[in-house]
A and B are shown apart, each in its own frame.
Chain A
Amino acid sequence: MGHRFLNSRVSSAAHSGVDDPHVIALVERAVARDQSAFAELYDLYLDRIYRYVYYRTGDRHDAEDLSEQVFLQAWAAIERFRWQSKPFVAWLYTVAHNAVIDWRRRAVNTETLNDPDNPIEVESDGATQAMTQWIDRDLLAKAVKRLTPEQQQVIILKFLDGFDTATIARVMDKREGTIRALQLRALQSLRRELERHGEGLAA
């Protein structure tokens, strides 16, 4: 992935049909260094970036720190942003991806997921709690952390962002068949990991 989204210049018409007009307007104002527009983008995308980073790091404190870094780096680089027939969030994910790589290089101990003093922040209501009782959320997050970076990216883009395979293929510069294969392997790996820890998948 690298920094290639950050520096490529393409026609501004390339955003057509990729993001909704409100987001496009906010991005264009932010590119012109409008702080209030960027603050709106922050509010709009913080949750998604946080989840992305959380699933890549497995630690909520690191996820918070890295989310902050992602937006600060994005603000610093936003003047270089150009539409590339991809949603704006794809560019943010590239910034986040690079931030996670830097974090991994710095990390000494990567096994910090289950911190008993700081349980993961999960907002839950009765219905969803009942639905997820049979699966350990921490374990699922830990299993995601064990996937390859490409597998992580595919399942995050697919199941968190709800992007279709064609969009994910554009975001990751890969063929749709490759994305489908990555998706299959990711879910198979998750299932194996959960089974290894005794979490059955039968309802």
Chain B
Amino acid sequence: MNRVDQESELAEALEQALTERASTTAVLDGQIAELLQLARTFEKTAHLIAPSIHFRASRLMKIAHFGVLRLFR
């Protein structure tokens, strides 16, 4: 099996592992299990990152202000 085929097979195995959310890392190939764990960690930590409440409020007011919006038309 050449390198491209190997990568394609690995990519497919990863996709399957990501899709089958019930899978446990214990039954997966070592590399796939590690990548799956990393993906899950990224998923969980990424959703904790958010703009500050202050930023959200001030920008929303600005966005809603017609005078400001007209400048960008």
Residues of A at the B interface (CB closer than 8 Å) are 35-36, 38-39, 42-43, 46-47, 50-51, 54-55, 60, 63-64, 67-68, 71-73, 75-76, 120-124, 128, 131-132, 135, 137, 140-141, 144, 155, 158-160, 164-165, 177, 180-181, 183-184, 187-188, 190-191, 194, 201, 203
**Chain A residues within 8 Å of B52, by CB:** 64, 121
Pairwise interchain contact A180-B11, C-beta atoms closer than 8 A = yes
Given the complex of chains A and B, what is the CA–CA distance between A68 and B68 in angstroms?
Answer: 12
Given the complex of chains A and B, what is the CA–CA distance between A118 and B7 in angstroms?
Answer: 40
Interface check B23, CB cutoff 8 A: no
Pairwise interchain contact A183-B45, C-beta atoms closer than 8 A = no
Pairwise interchain contact A181-B11, C-beta atoms closer than 8 A = yes
Pairwise interchain contact A51-B46, C-beta atoms closer than 8 A = yes
Q: If A42-B63, A121-B49 touch, does A201 touch B11 (CB 8 Å cutoff)?
A: no
B interface SS class: helix
Q: Which 7 A-B pairs have the closest CB atoms?
A: A180-B11, A184-B11, A76-B72, A187-B35, A159-B43, A50-B51, A39-B64
Pairwise interchain contact A184-B35, C-beta atoms closer than 8 A = yes
**Chain A residues within 8 Å of B49, by CB:** 50-51, 54, 120-122, 137, 141
Pairwise interchain contact B45-A39, C-beta atoms closer than 8 A = no
Q: Mark B41-55, 1 if CB is under 8 A from A, else 0.
A: 111111111111001
Residues of B at the A interface (CB closer than 8 Å) are 7-8, 10-12, 14-15, 18-19, 34-35, 37-39, 41-52, 55-56, 59-60, 62-64, 66, 68-69, 72-73
Pairwise interchain contact B8-A177, C-beta atoms closer than 8 A = yes
**Chain B residues within 8 Å of A165, by CB:** 15
**Chain B residues within 8 Å of A177, by CB:** 8, 11
**Chain A residues within 8 Å of B45, by CB:** 122, 128, 132, 135, 137, 140
Closest to B13 in A: A184
Closest to A165 in B: B15
Given the complex of chains A and B, what is the CA–CA distance between A154 and B52 in angstroms?
Answer: 26
Given the complex of chains A and B, what is the CA–CA distance between A95 and B62 in angstroms?
Answer: 19
Most buried by A among B38, B47, B49: B49
Given the complex of chains A and B, what is the CA–CA distance between A67 and B14 in angstroms?
Answer: 32
Nearest-neighbour CB distance to chain B for A35, whole angstroms, equals 6
A-B contact pairs, 30 of them (CB 8 A): A36-B64, A38-B63, A42-B60, A47-B50, A47-B51, A51-B46, A68-B62, A71-B63, A72-B69, A121-B49, A128-B45, A132-B44, A135-B41, A140-B42, A140-B45, A141-B49, A158-B18, A159-B43, A160-B43, A160-B47, A165-B15, A177-B8, A180-B15, A181-B8, A184-B7, A184-B10, A184-B14, A187-B14, A187-B35, A203-B37
